[in-house]
Structure 1
Amino acid sequence: MAILLAPMEGLLDFVLRDVLTRVGGIDRCVSEFIRVTDAVLPERAFFRIVPELRHGGRTPAGVPVRAQLLGSDPACLADNAARLASLGPAGIDLNFGCPAKVVNRHGGGAALLQEPELLHRIVSAVRRAVPASMPVSAKMRLGFNDDQLAEDCARAIAEAGADELVVHGRTKAQGYKPPAYWDRIADVRAVVRIPVVANGEVWSVADARRCRAESGCQDLMLGRGMVAQPGLALAILADQGVAAGRVPDWADVQRLLLYFWQLNQSHIEPRSRPGRLKQWLNYLRRNHPEAEEAYQSLRTVNDPLQVEAWLDRLPVNQAPEAALA
């Protein structure tokens, strides 16, 4: 069983990838999308989204990161994939699932699920453009307005040469509203011969059990559930009888928050840092009652110095390297 960390634009950036992969249980990450339009991007554009490229395509904890491309022009995507491949990612992923209106309006993300033939051309072009040894994967939803083309899209992606397919169990129209239709992932899995990874609405060990049973997939991709509970991957593995490490408690999470804050200081302007911390706390309060108290304490605070003072008062305020040691 493999557990992947999902790409989440505006949330799961390289900082949170670093933090969450230090906890353990994650086998591979996929980066947020790198938008491709009509030109080959400079190397700095790839490094900005996936700085792990400077370290062998891995997080500091050693977890491989596949870099995700988003676009709709097969030739341009192929050219960018070739340049990206030369930088040494753990693989290249293609985004066929983003539900954002601005992305869909320009024919990218989930909008491509209306055109299985175009999906085939994109995957085929990218597969030809990168070394045969480099994995090419894709992430899709069940469809755009409905799921009638789900199987056709999956076949197009697989037959074009993708090595793996992640399926988010909702359409673009369904957004992120529960439930995720894991049984439809099983239908998609039945028509392709490549590994299929299930994604969507896995917030707990019980959800993971049901998702695997209904989708027929051994492997899972975790997104918001892992952000809300950093120990979720470890708990799922423990439920499967795999001893992968200790599930973090609230004291551990506080240390992670300290480390998260320190990492953000290096790449986010001061006025934006409190918002990033509160964004994560907002997810954490789903599973940690203490996070609710912390969130309420900081909810109206926008001064980074006040946030730092709050962090300094945490009882576990010690070297962040000690987190989950």
Structure 2
Amino acid sequence: MQITLAPMEGVMDHHMRQLLTAVGGYDLCVTEFIRVVDLRLPAKVYRRLSPELYNNSKTTSGTPVRIQLLGQNAHCLAQNADKAISIGSDGIDLNFGCPAKTVNKNKGGAVLLKSPETLYEIVREVRKVVPEFHTLSAKIRLGYDDKSLAIENAQAVAEAGADEIAVHARTKEEGYRPPAHWHWIAKIKDTIDIPVTANGDIFSVDDARRCMEISGCDRIMIGRGALATPNLAQAIKGLEEPNSWAEILVILKKYLFIQTMGDQEKYLPSRIKQWLTFMKLQHPQAAVFLQQVRKIKTTQEMLAAINKEQLSIS
């Protein structure tokens, strides 16, 4: 079973990709989206978001990284896909699923699910510039307001030439509220002939098993679940037991140490606290620890707090 590390805007940056792929089990990463409006962006924009381009588009652990583009102008998206491929991206992913209000207001992300014709046009134009030996994938939701166009949207993506499709099993209006409607992925899979990746509410090994059974998917994609339990991919593959709280504290410390110099004093404590909000979904200790560190503002204070927590459970 191939497992993809999902893109998560403002969370799954290259530091997090580096850490989680080092933990293991992930076969592919998709970057946070690059917003495309009306310009062919310079290489530095792509390399800033995905420094892995300097490493043959792989993390330091060797996991391939695919650039994701978001926009509504088919011609401009094609130009930028061509640019990303030319500087080494491991294929191209198109974002038709982002639920953010600002993105949708500017006619990007999930709002495009109102128009299967637009999805078809975008995928067709991007396919023209992405060589056959590079993967063109797309991520969708089940719809915007409702699921009435779910199958038509998936068919449009497939018929326009995409090699793969990932489906987050909710509409834009449903956001991230449970449950994820995995049975809808099965309906989609029955109507298209490209591999289908299931996404949504996969937080445990049992979730992954049930998702695969219900959806009949070819692959799975995890995001919030990977943050809640960093070695979830390894656990799903039967290679390890899910991380304990003690193991997670070690991973948090590693995250502090892989960061670059610069504004880390302002940046890192906030990112650790953000990460803990996802961890508390599976680990009650994370909720308690989050309350203890919520006023911390420096990296050294955060490191001291983690060391203290480790001592308390040893």
User: Match for residue 23 of structure 1?
Assistant: 23
Count of aligned positions: 311
User: Match for residue 274 of structure 1?
Assistant: 269
User: Match for residue 292 of structure 1?
Assistant: 287
Question: CA-to-partner distance for each residue in 1:201-222, whole Å, 9 max, x for gaps?
Answer: 1111111111111111131101
SS at match of 1:67: strand
* Aligned equivalents of 2:307, 2:115: Cα separation in 1: 53
User: Match for residue 42 of structure 1?
Assistant: 42
CA contact (8 A) 1:24 1:245 kept: no
Q: How does 1:218-237 map to 2 (within 5 A)?
A: 218-237=218-237
Higher mean alpha-carbon deviation, 60-69 vs 283-292, is at 283-292
Q: Structure 2 length as normaliser, TM-score?
A: 0.94
User: Match for residue 175 of structure 2?
Assistant: 175
* Aligned equivalents of 2:30, 2:240: Cα separation in 1: 22
Q: What is the Cα deviation at residue 259 of structure 1?
A: 1.7
CA contact (8 A) 1:265 1:273 kept: no
Identity %: 47
What are the ranges of 5 or more consecutive residues in structure 1 without an aligned counterpart? 239-243, 317-325
Instruction: Identify which of 240, 244, 247 aligns with 1:252.
Output: 247
CA contact (8 A) 2:142 2:171 kept: yes
Higher mean alpha-carbon deviation, 75-84 vs 127-136, is at 127-136
Return the letter of the residue paired with 2:9.
Answer: E
* Aligned equivalents of 2:61, 2:262: Cα separation in 1: 19
CA contact (8 A) 2:91 2:130 kept: no
* Aligned equivalents of 1:221, 1:149: Cα separation in 2: 22
SS at match of 1:277: helix
RMSD (CA atoms)? 1.6
User: Match for residue 54 of structure 1?
Assistant: 54
User: Match for residue 259 of structure 2?
Assistant: 264
Return the letter of the residue paired with 1:278.
Answer: K
Q: What is the Cα deviation at residue 231 of structure 1?
A: 1.9
Q: Structure 1 length as normaliser, TM-score?
A: 0.91
Q: 1:305 to 1:23 in 2, by over 3 A?
A: closer
* Aligned equivalents of 1:309, 1:209: Cα separation in 2: 38
Q: What is the Cα deviation at residue 255 of structure 1?
A: 2.2
User: Match for residue 319 of structure 1?
Assistant: none
* Aligned equivalents of 2:42, 2:227: Cα separation in 1: 31
